[in-house]
Amino acid sequence: MDAFRDIFSLVSILFICTLDGYSMMSYRLPAKKAYLCFGAVSIFCILINSYIAVHMGIEVLTGVILFTIGLPYFALILIITRDKISQTVFSFWLWINIYEIIANSTAFINDHTARNYWFLTAIRLVFLTGYFFLYKRCLQAKHRSVMEKLNVNWWIFSFIPLSFTVLITMVNHFFTGADSGRKYSFLFVIHALMLLVYVLIFYTFKTVHDSMAASQTAEKLKDQIELQKKQYEFLGQKEETERIFRHDARHRDAMLLGCIERGDISGAKDLLCRELSEIENEKNVPMCENPLVNALLAETLARAGKKGIKFTVDATVSRDLSCDEAEFTVMLSNILENSLDAAKTFIKVSIKSLNSQISVNVKNDYSGEIKKDSSGAYLSTKESGSGLGLKSVAAIVKKNGGFLETDDRDGVFTVSATLKN
């Protein structure tokens, strides 16, 4: 009966602990596959720990459970997590600390009330389940945001939960039996200190993160304003061009009528061919559903035309991008700017949006020699040092989990960038 009780307690608590620990990490695998992996490790842990509980006793299991459960889970998390190893170590030991607070608090409640193993299991399940819903509802988004966006040395911070675990383990080891009162006093002090430290850490992290987020938002708004200004300028230029075109059309129609009246068929034919050519060029203005991308393409087309550069576009871009719109337009603006600076006679642009990713391919011819530094990075043609445009593109691509390729063979420079949602 005792063995059944121990195994039931282990399985039920392990199930809730799996949910709690799983929710604190970020994984490369889809949710279903990640849950299957956790399920397989959970079954392994249940079998190992049940064997220890039945054949060696619950006292032995209590002494080794941190290793017989913690190590298999930690190994799995390291394999499938998207976080850095240092971030994973911090989050894992943070969860260990949380479990230790719940385990010791419920043990204290049980020792001073029912003194019943089933009661202890029940209140631990209640506390662990309550923490799971509290974390999912109030803490998960902030915790994950801090972990992913804050650039700090997580190895240093990992020593904090690890140190608390060592202290709690020492107290539980040295104070047993009649010393349980002193044990709980020490544990209360450690737990209070632990909560205070974590509140201060995450409050500091959140303040820094919010400041960074506000700065990034301001930069995005600035970029969007600049792009919208370019679009308005282009629309104004286009309206002026259309007004001039209508005026010129009346003039050409008068000239055409004069040629017909004089019987100058050759002159009339030349005028018609010139007008049809201009209309065809007007039709080739690149358009897409997204207004910011359209503004960039239209503005680059106008600038390329003034420099005598043939600018062709094949763009399939929906109104709502699958990635961050401001970051994508900044990336595209940098690529087009570099291409326009270097191109001699042509620029070819292809933009394709498919499912959860969007890709950009820009080609242009160039003259002269392309310079690179010792690391292979392209050097700016306008100033000394590395090209800031491509550096900015590379940073945006990396942040969005995409990839960037460049090529400069046969007198043609090619940039291919893909962003993922």
Q: Name which of 93, 76, 202, 193 is nearest 147 in CA terms.
A: 202
pLDDT at 175 over 90: no
- Helix axis angle for 85-111 and 117-134, nearest 10°, is 140
pLDDT mean over 391-405: 82
For the segment 183-214, what is each residue's pLDDT rounded down to a tens digit? 888 888 988 998 898 888 878 877 876 777 77
Work out the pLDDT band at 2, boundaries 50, 70, 90.
Answer: low
For the segment 119-132, what is each residue's pLDDT rounded down to a tens digit? 888 888 888 888 88
Are 350 and 314 in contact by the 8 Å Cβ rule? The answer is yes
More confident residue, 274 or 44: 44
More confident residue, 304 or 49: 304
Give the lowest-confidence range in 18-22, 184-188, 359-363: 18-22
- Top CATH class of 285-421 equals alpha beta
Q: Where are the domains of the chain?
A: 2-174, 285-421
- Cα 172 from Cα 326, distance rounded (Å): 54
Q: What is the model's pTM?
A: 0.52
Q: Name which of 86, 73, 91 is nearest 34 in CA terms.
A: 73
Burial of 201 (0-12, 13-18, 19+ CB in 10 A): middle
For the segment 130-148, what is each residue's pLDDT rounded down to a tens digit? 888 888 887 777 777 777 7
Work out the pLDDT band at 384, boundaries 50, 70, 90.
Answer: very low
Per the DSSP assignment, residues forming a β-bridge with 310 are 346
Q: What is the pLDDT of residue 20?
A: 62
Residue 315 has φ and ψ, to the nearest 5°, of: -120, 125
pLDDT mean over 88-106: 85
Looking at every residue in the chain, the average pLDDT score rounds to 77
pLDDT at 291 over 70: yes
Q: What is the pLDDT of residue 12?
A: 64
- Cα 171 from Cα 186, distance rounded (Å): 7
pLDDT at 45 over 60: yes
pLDDT at 382 over 70: no
